[in-house]
Amino acid sequence: MAFYFEQLREGDRRDLGQHRFTQEEITAFKHQFPIHDQLAPEQDNVHPWHLGCIWMNLMVDYMKHKAQLIIEQGKIPARMGPSPGMEEMTWLRPVKAGETLHYYSELTAKRRSRSRPQWGLLKGYNYAQDKQGDIVFSFRSNVFVECQNPHEED
């Protein structure tokens, strides 16, 4: 995770970066993961699960980068725990080959675990915007992150 529970604030927004979807990538994803459904029937449409995979790749890269910066300062980055899952995944419109999406993650709520005070639970709103700034993909996430001071009150 890089940052400890106490260092994170509701409303913090992470800019995860951009991704441009090529026709070659779309085709390769559909062949590698033959998900047969009606979510992306057109050949040049990005499959909605592909949008989520890109979000995960960008989030992992972001976390690795932040953890490396912390290590370079001689500090220890926080551990990320398990995720109790995600909710409300939505695909608001088809995404086509050639489009570039910008991905974000925003911390919407946090609370310390009552049963395991060394962990805090983060709730997030994650989304991708097109070049007009319209949200085309979103979901809500839950993840545990290590607390630096497990017995401190919030």
Amino acid 47: pLDDT: 86
- Look up residue 5 and give its DSSP letter: G
Quote the tokens at residue 8. Answer: 């994170």
Mean pLDDT per block of 10 residues along the chain (154 residues) reads: 88 96 89 67 78 94 93 92 87 93 97 91 97 96 90 66
139 sits in the region (left: phi over 0; alpha: psi -120 to 50; else beta) called: beta
Q: Quote the pTM value.
A: 0.87
Whole-number pLDDT of residue 33: 80
Give me the pLDDT at residue 1, please. 62
HSE of 143, CA atoms in CB hemisphere, 13 A: 21
The C-alpha atoms of residue 107 and residue 59 are separated, in whole angstroms, by 13
CATH architecture entry for 5-146 = Roll (3.10)
- pLDDT, residue 54, reads 96
Position 103 scores a pLDDT of 98
Task: Say if residues 122 and 110 touch (Cβ distance below 8 Å).
Answer: yes
Domain map of the chain by residue range?
5-146
